[in-house]
Amino acid sequence: MSARDLFPILPVLLVLAVLPFLGLSGSLVNLLIFMMIVTLAAQGWNVLGGYGGLASFGHAAFFGTGAYATAILQTRYGINAWAALVAGVALGSLVGAFIGFLTFRSGLKGSYFALITLAFAEVLRILANSSEITGGGAGIVVPIDYGFENLQLRDRRFFVLLAVVCVGLGLVITRWLDRSKFGAYLIAIRENEDAARALGVDVMKVKLGAITLSAALTALSGVLYTQNFLFLDANVAYGPWISIEALFAAIVGGLGTMFGPLIGAVVLLGAGEVTKEFSGGIPGFDLLVFGVILIITVAFAPNGLAGISLKGFRRKKSGDGAGASQDGGADA
């Protein structure tokens, strides 16, 4: 991967970084932060589900592990927030590798793999809800101590910048998958695992690498959640909501695409906020809108919103090339 491959990422990050400084209200800045958190989780899901074809219903297991690890290390052991961030991502990665080793070694895939990940997330939720170290049902409150060294920023706009940097890391990783041998191996496994194995691809190694990388990105989103809200309980950390939103954002935005998770998160959460505003806050109505958007996307844009844009760009490029050829023939 060359520096030129990263050029499409820079304008997007620049726009996201500038947005909070354009006079947005506090609620919109908070919404932007939450969009970045969900985008990061969706990027993690996209690595495994989009590029690897391994759909997971339990990415909350990685999200919650990263979130709880950073909260517990800070509140119970007095560890610096940045060190807790690294530990949270590392522990989330280990959980991903552990789940991957057990499931892939057993040959589970498809719906069986999806259900196993869901089961792991639910087991972790139950354990966290009854464990003393996690605060049980009362959860954990991270004390307010503003300062960059504590990953707590008084000005919410600068927390947006931190979240954008993390999303940028996810975009770079996705771009690397598009250009690397590892990404090619992962896509080959998605298309035909037996054929990939016959061609010499170490299927077990590639799958383990994919779920570990996926878990790391999702755990990082959990760390950001903890540092943003400064509160955590089992239903938030390991609840199904993050698994659903990460999955929906990746599918609606475009599976196996670089900007798909970002587009999907912005569309879904934006639509959710608009729905809450005009529905009078009817409980669950935003989830109904999520479902409608997902059905429409699957029915009319199976490659997602990013896929529509990419298809239009290729069609335009093809048309320009054909026009140039005709002009050349006429001149001849």
Convert the pLDDT of each residue in 168-196 to its tens digit: 999 999 999 999 999 999 999 999 999 99
Global model pTM greater than 0.75 = yes
Domain assignment of residue 172, yes or no = yes
Task: Output the six-digit token pair for 278.
Answer: 């005009």
- Kindly state whether residue 182 falls inside one of the protein's structural domains: yes
The per-residue pLDDT of the chain, averaged, comes to: 90
Q: Is residue 185 domain-resident?
A: yes
Residue 331 within any structural domain of the chain: no
Q: For 155-169, what is each residue's pLDDT tens digit?
A: 999 999 999 999 999
Residue 325 pLDDT grade (very low, low, confident, very high; cuts 50, 70, 90): very low
| CATH number of the domain encompassing residue 257 | 1.10.3470
Q: Inform me whether the pLDDT recorded for 40 exceeds 80.
A: yes
**Domain membership flag for residue 330:** no
Of residues 12 and 311, more confidently modeled:
12
Q: What is the number of domains present in the chain?
A: 1
For range 84-108, the mean pLDDT: 96
How high is the pLDDT of residue 277? Answer: 80
For residue 125, being part of any structural domain is answered with yes
Residue 106 in domain: yes
Domain that holds residue 50: 3-325
The answer on pLDDT for 97 being more than 70 is: yes
Under the banding of pLDDT at 50, 70 and 90, the label for residue 324 is very low
Segment 107-120 shows an average pLDDT of 94
The residue among 2 and 228 whose pLDDT is bigger is: 228
Q: Is residue 332 part of a domain?
A: no
Q: Could you report the per-residue pLDDT of 217-231, keeping only the tens digit for each? A: 999 999 999 999 999
Res 6: pLDDT:
86
